[in-house]
Amino acid sequence: MLKLGAMNGKKIVARNRKAKFEYELLETFEAGLELKGSEIKSIRAGQVSLSEAYVRTNGRQAWLVGAHIAPYDQASVFNHEPDRDRRLLLHKREIKTLWDAVRLKGITIVPTVLYLRDGLAKVEIALAKGKRQYDKRQAIKKRDMDREVDRALENRKGRKDY
């Protein structure tokens, strides 16, 4: 299991753990976020949730919808709305790629990781196709089998055969 922390010079702030379980991730993109001052302070404090978030696009701009960034306590009257839509900063060709993919049936765009790189907030988004119920059951089965194998190896290492 991947934990929050440093990843190649990046400080991971939030991870959408449900994304890999609910969707088959096809292609990933890195996008900047257009934020207010109190929002970046809350992100640096780790007060972010991507669990219900998704990306909406109209062919010209992309928006992060449903991401919750908690209000920053010290901002008082200059605070931000926690669940507002935030504009994603992407190249035109990337937005066009996303727009073309979304028009296909069953493709959606989900945020997978929010991280800080060089003091800037970045979000990794992925084109995703929804998994069927039997795919999810297979993923659970594989995860359980991997756990059993790991436990068996740990027990074997712990035993001393003379």
Q: Tell me, yes or no, whether 139 lies in a domain.
A: no
Tell me: the pLDDT tens digits for 136-147?
Answer: 788 888 888 999
Q: Tell me, yes or no, whether 145 lies in a domain.
A: no
Domain region containing 60: 8-131
Q: Tell me, yes or no, whether 161 lies in a domain.
A: no
Q: Tell me, yes or no, whether 162 lies in a domain.
A: no
CATH number at residue 121: 2.40.280.10
Tell me: the pLDDT tens digits for 29-50?
Answer: 999 999 988 889 899 999 999 9
Dist CA 25 CA 108 (whole Å): 10
Q: Tell me, yes or no, whether 101 lies in a domain.
A: yes
Q: How many domains, in total, are found in the chain?
A: 1
Share of the chain above pLDDT 90, in %: 49
